[in-house]
Amino acid sequence: MSASTPKKSPGFLLNLVFNIIIPTLVLSKLSEEHLLGPVWALVAALAFPVCFGLYELKQSQKVNLLSVLGIVSVLLTGGISLLQLDPAYIAIKEAAVPGLIALAVFFSQFTKYPLVKKILLNDELLDLSKLQQSLQQKNAVALFEQKLRHCAYLVSATFVLSSVLNYGLAKYLLVSQPGTPAFNEELAQMTALSYPVIALPSMLMLMVAIFYLFYQIGKVTGESVENFLRQ
């Protein structure tokens, strides 16, 4: 294996621990004044996903737009909370981040650089040069691009769903004044529920888009999708 081969990103379990489990425990268990207090507990809890996100970026050796947006989202949550602004701003932020991604994916279809290719056509999973060669041999490049646009609509819908669920969950749970143990407890609940309420439905929709893409690769090329998978 050459030295230029990209390093693998950390596994699902580590993502779960650093982005959900540890922040939830810190916010819910250490926010009382005789412990860390609400401010420092918030800082400590948000430090884990930020540091883990930066570590992922370093390990992958390339800038990932979704990872960067995730870090920015956490920092915005921290900023809004530390400034003790109205919790409604967090709900708006929670909806805005995936909403902007949905718009970017949708409108990028009308440019030379559709984002759906970055999201779904992963060079670490698929041999893209082999796929492109097969499409050219069968004069199916235009047809595949059309199918890819359908995938873009599915991906956009996934982020729209995430936007709506993010807003609803934040609006429902965050009712206390920031800077208080009660607010940190609510933020802990939102963090803990973000996976089953938001991440799972969004992942299922994204899997539908991926399965649709794989099905169309096989249908358009007339070959098994396994022929294009990296070994």
Per-residue pLDDT of 60-111, as tens digits, reads 666 666 667 777 888 888 888 888 889 999 999 989 989 998 999 899 888 8
Q: Closest by alpha carbon to 187, among 15, 13, 29?
A: 29
Please determine, for residue 18, whether its predicted confidence score (pLDDT) is greater than 80: no
Per-residue pLDDT at 44 exceeds 60: yes
Please spell the DSSP secondary structure of 92-148, one letter per residue: HHHHHHHHHHHHHHHHGGGSSS-HHHHHH--TTTB-HHHHHHHHHHTT-HHHHHHHH
| 3-class SS of residue 229 | strand
Structure confidence at residue 63 (pLDDT): 60
Structure tokens at 198: 């938001």
| Cα distance between residue 178 and residue 16, in whole Å | 25
177: closest CA among 72, 38, 74?
38
Report pTM: 0.78
> With bands split at pLDDT 50, 70 and 90, how would you rate the model's confidence at 172?
very high
Token pair 């920092």 in the structure block, residue = 75
Between helix 200-221 and helix 141-173 the angle, nearest 10°, is: 180
